[in-house]
Amino acid sequence: MAGTLDIVSTRTAFLILREAFYGGTRFEEFVERAGVSEPVASARLRELTDEGLLVREPYREPGQRTRYEYRLTEKGADLLPVLVALMEWGDRWALEGGARVKLRHAGCGAPVELSLQCAEGHPVGQDDLELALKRPA
Amino acid sequence: MAGTLDIVSTRTAFLILREAFYGGTRFEEFVERAGVSEPVASARLRELTDEGLLVREPYREPGQRTRYEYRLTEKGADLLPVLVALMEWGDRWALEGGARVKLRHAGCGAPVELSLQCAEGHPVGQDDLELALKRPA
């Protein structure tokens, strides 16, 4: 987990990842929607690409020079539960005022939720946890 | 979410929270198990207490001076899904070698898992997300 935190613990890195989940792909979109400066967006996009969370791909519109867009890799897309967990917690405890963005299931429109359960299907709370050491294969 | 990140984005803060979930309460336990120095543990415990994620309570063993233990508040305990999501991601993508700690359901011993679904019970993946603006009440 320490490794994960090294990668995503910059607040601006996470805001940029969030925009990628929301469908943003272009540099200008990250700058505008994440509300960060161009140099900051540029530095974070480079780090996220270096870490394999985003991939940078060239695209070209007619009559324009080649530009780049950024897409989530499988490794990056796998951070979705972390992002949703942070948003749920922020919604409940940390945010004040202002319009909030809520995630909904595109299929039926119902709100998206995270749940914690065991592989046997039992719901798991803080007092139901047990630790096991798992040795590497 | 930006607020959440401000609080938990320090790597050592999260390692200390993890130890609190594992049942650690005493200063020495945080230092030893999170593998941080005493000044770092002290600074992080103070910040986490100031943010209302931990509460500091006096205790006293016979013949000893009063000391303090740290317990998760409801706000802190609510970070469990974030922690589990980070551990799952780290397990899959970021960790190399070394013994790992796995969370299990105390009731039946099965591994603890996070899942993302909508309120109607449909499983939700990255491509099934839709955004909705939620205005504050």
Q: Reply yes or no on whether the pLDDT at B29 is more than 60.
A: yes
As for the ipTM of the complex, it is 0.76
- CB of B36 within 8 Å of a chain A CB? The answer is no
Distance from CA of A3 to the nearest CA of B (A): 6
Residue A100's Cβ-count burial label (10 Å; 0-12, 13-18, 19+) is middle
Q: Is A39 on the interface with B (CB under 8 A)?
A: no
Residue B98 has pLDDT above 50, yes or no: no
For B:78-137, CB contacts with A below 8 A are 78-90, 92-95, 97-120, 122, 124-136
Contacts of B7 (CB under 8 A, 6+ apart): A94, B13, B47, B48, B51, B53
Confidence of residue A41 (pLDDT cuts 50, 70, 90): very high
Taking contacts as CB-CB distances below 8 angstroms, the residues of chain A near B10 are 9
In total, the C-beta contacts within 8 angstroms joining chain A to chain B are 239
Tokens (6 digits) for B133: 């603006």
Q: Which of A10, A83, A113 sits opposite B119 (nearest CB)?
A: A113
* A71 and chain B in contact, CB less than 8 A: no
- Say if residue B134's pLDDT is above 70: no
Number of H helices, E strands in chain B: 6, 5
Contact B131 A104 (CB under 8 A): yes
Residue A30: the pLDDT is 94
Q: Is the pLDDT of residue A31 over 70?
A: yes
Go through the domains of chain B in sequence order and give each one's CATH number: 2-120 (1.10.10.10)
- Residue with token string 């740290």: B70
Nearest to B114 by CA among A79, A69, A106: A79
Looking up tokens 């120095």, which residue turns up?
B37
**Residues B33, B24: contact at Cβ < 8 Å?**
yes
Average pLDDT over residues B16-25: 88
For A93, name the nearest residue in chain B, comparing CA atoms only. Answer: B75
Exposure string over B70-109, b if 16+ CB within 10 A, otherwise e: bebeebbbbbbbbbbbbbbbbeebbbeeeeeeebbbbeee
